[in-house]
A and B are shown apart, each in its own frame.
Chain A
Amino acid sequence: MTRGITLSQAVNEAIAEEMRRDETVILIGEDVAEAGTPFKVLSGLVEEFGTDRVIDTPIAEPGFMGIAVGAAMTGLRPIVDLMFGDFLYLVMDQLCNQAAKTHYMSGGKLSVPLVLRTNLGATRRSAAQHSQSLHALVAHIPGLKVAMPSSAYEAKGLLKAAIRDDNPVVIFEDKLMYQDKAPVPEEEYLLPLGEAAILREGSEVTLIGTSSMRQVCERAAEILDGDGIGAEVIDPRTLVPLDEGTILGSVRKTSRAIVVDEGHQNFGITAEIAARISEKAFYHLDAPVIRMGAMDVPVPFSPALEDLTVPTPEGVAANARALVRGVPVHAP
């Protein structure tokens, strides 16, 4: 049985279920208890689990991140709430120098089972310090797993898997999707990290979209249907590990690929996935792999400008059309 619930409810359910199942799971972050975060994602949890397990911290991101690392090393399984993805810069030492490397540096003796929940996504008119999509920063660091749920269904299944994982997992929710509903099973389920989903089959072009860019790709595919072009849509679901098999299998079939992601395009996720396709499916490519990331400018405030910076279904469809028709997107 499924019912439609919002992404916010899905996250809340995942945390509640895991906290009921495992006493060692705790929530820690700024205004996670009574306030339930500015997005109200965590509302109600403190009433059920109390302030011992739903821990409000001062506004001190490096501090509570470091405390979570130490707690994870000594028997707890903290879920760290980082209010905005933009604050990742504040926790980089504790996340990347400590959490990510502890298992390796200790030769496998110590481990850091924690989840860092944070968000991404522009077009909320929040300007440059509350709109960034910084998942590429952490995907670059060996020792961190990175998940990118694209709907309520993925948000719940991936978060539950992340909480049970014995390693640091960073999970990015799109803050514009918190109120979006999707069918979610009533029964318990987990989505394993490292398994992509083919959401739509097509034979002429593969559209790979992370997080909310999956919806952009799906809408692009509908537009392309009208042109008689069959687009396949893939949601990688996790960046680390990355399910290359599913992506490469699709590209070998369609010979064309567009990678769409809301992180900045330069040196980003789109570049990484495009590079892996180019390296591993080169002889099956009938067109260059196209990257479509966020424009490489700080996110502007004005709606007139901000909307220009994020890939759109029309833009994806236009590029797909060009590829299928053999019109170079960039002059040869």
Chain B
Amino acid sequence: MPHEVRMPQLGMVQDSGVIVAWLKRNGDSVKAGDPIFEVETDKATMEVEAATDGYLSGVKAVEGDDVPVGGLIAMIVEAEGDVEEAGTGVPDAEPEDVAVVEAAQWSDPEPVKQPISAPVERATPKSVASGRVLASPKARRLASERGIDLHLLRAQGVSEPIHVADLDAAFAAGGKSLLSAVVESTSFDEILDCSRTADRTKLLALFAAGAWRATFDASSVSVAIKDLDGRIEIVANPDRGGAGVPEDPVLTLVDLCGTRINGYVPMGGGVTLCVTRSAAGYGLSLAFEESRLALSGAAALVEDIAARIENPLLQLL
């Protein structure tokens, strides 16, 4: 049986060896124990001995070749007649035979349990104004589930790190913010006077819906109209002739123009728009939770509604 001569594993940390000198030539007769070539590794130069008697055959490497451990270098054949000619080129290790190289060769690399997941690095763009809000993992999870923006909580003066208790406090009654505006114009009165059929409250709902749609780029906008008897009517897309099915209202409109009452902040959540009438014109007040509606958005909304009341024709035409 022909015997393979491979680059031996000589040290504990050796990947390859350089053939320094051949001590036997292709076709030479060798005896077990005869040095056949010299190898230089990271440590030293040493002789590699023939493992069996026979003839050196099919030598694949020349002096100076750096041969990977396990690489086939030559054969030792039993009969002189079997000797093959020397080849050329640096031989590669033959992976199907070599067990020392890759762990994957003898075990299925698929992790069975306790996989160590590599942390996924995400480039999180820093929020321009604010940076990261410090919050407990649970507070962060609950804020996300409840749709609370932790930046807004911080803006309201909640101190960091934010805990679950801070979220709960923000939900309690004291969490309302109020924005108010005055429209010193009577243009809206003229429209109402001109048309007998015009309903002030419905027109206000139309303005509010249009402003919401424009401010927040919303596709469907339902508005709840609440009176002082507590009755609530939900109108779908009042700025589009009431098309569509009423959904959860984005805001509640309370029209107080016919009364002397000049403000109303309801209990509970949600956005409430109150419209009042004074000698000078109209008063707007928007009650909202900054945890749900950012101050900037609320302000833009109030500005837009005010502009529509100031110049109603633009909206109606």
Are A and B in direct contact (Cβ within 8 Å)? yes
Complex-state Cα separation, A284 to B134, whole angstroms: 16
Bitwise, A294-332 to B at CB < 8 A (1) or not (0) is 000000000000000000000000000000001010001
Q: Are B160 and A286 in contact (CB under 8 A)?
A: no
Complex-state Cα separation, A286 to B142, whole angstroms: 10
The count of residues in chain B whose C-beta lies closer than 8 Å to any C-beta of chain A is 12
Q: Which of B103-157 contact A (CB under 8 A)?
A: 134, 136-139, 141
Partner of B163, one of A282, A283, A286: A286
Q: Are B161 and A332 in contact (CB under 8 A)?
A: yes
Query: Chain B binding site: helix, strand, loop or mixed by DSSP?
Result: helix
A285 at the interface (CB under 8 A from B): yes
B13 at the interface (CB under 8 A from A): no
Bitwise, A99-141 to B at CB < 8 A (1) or not (0) is 0000000000000000000000000000000000000000000
CB closest residue in chain A, given B161: A332
**Given A282-B137, A285-B137, also A332-B160 (CB < 8 A):** yes
CB neighbours of B136 from chain A (8 A): 255, 285-287
Complex-state Cα separation, A285 to B140, whole angstroms: 10
The 7 A-B residue pairs with the shortest CB-CB distance, nearest first, are A286-B136, A286-B138, A326-B163, A283-B141, A285-B137, A286-B164, A282-B137
CB closest residue in chain A, given B144: A283
Complex-state Cα separation, A328 to B159, whole angstroms: 11
**Given A326-B165, A326-B166, also A283-B160 (CB < 8 A):** no
Q: Are B161 and A283 in contact (CB under 8 A)?
A: no
Complex-state Cα separation, A326 to B165, whole angstroms: 8
Q: Are B160 and A287 in contact (CB under 8 A)?
A: no
Bitwise, B162-197 to A at CB < 8 A (1) or not (0) is 011110000000000000000000000000000000
Complex-state Cα separation, A112 to B161, whole angstroms: 51
Complex-state Cα separation, A283 to B141, whole angstroms: 6
Complex-state Cα separation, A326 to B136, whole angstroms: 10
CB closest residue in chain A, given B141: A283
Q: Are B165 and A255 in contact (CB under 8 A)?
A: no
Q: Which of A255-307 contact B (CB under 8 A)?
A: 255, 282-287
CB neighbours of A284 from chain B (8 A): 137-138, 141
In angstroms, how far is the closest chain A Cβ from the Cβ of B293? 26
CB closest residue in chain B, given A287: B136
Q: Are B138 and A283 in contact (CB under 8 A)?
A: yes
Chain A CB count within 10 A is highest, among B141, B160, B163, B166, for: B163
CB closest residue in chain B, given A328: B161
Partner of B161, one of A255, A282, A326: A326
CB neighbours of B166 from chain A (8 A): 326
5 contacts between A and B (CB under 8 A): A255-B136, A282-B137, A283-B138, A286-B139, A326-B165
Complex-state Cα separation, A287 to B166, whole angstroms: 13
Q: Are A255 and B164 in contact (CB under 8 A)?
A: yes
CB neighbours of B160 from chain A (8 A): 332
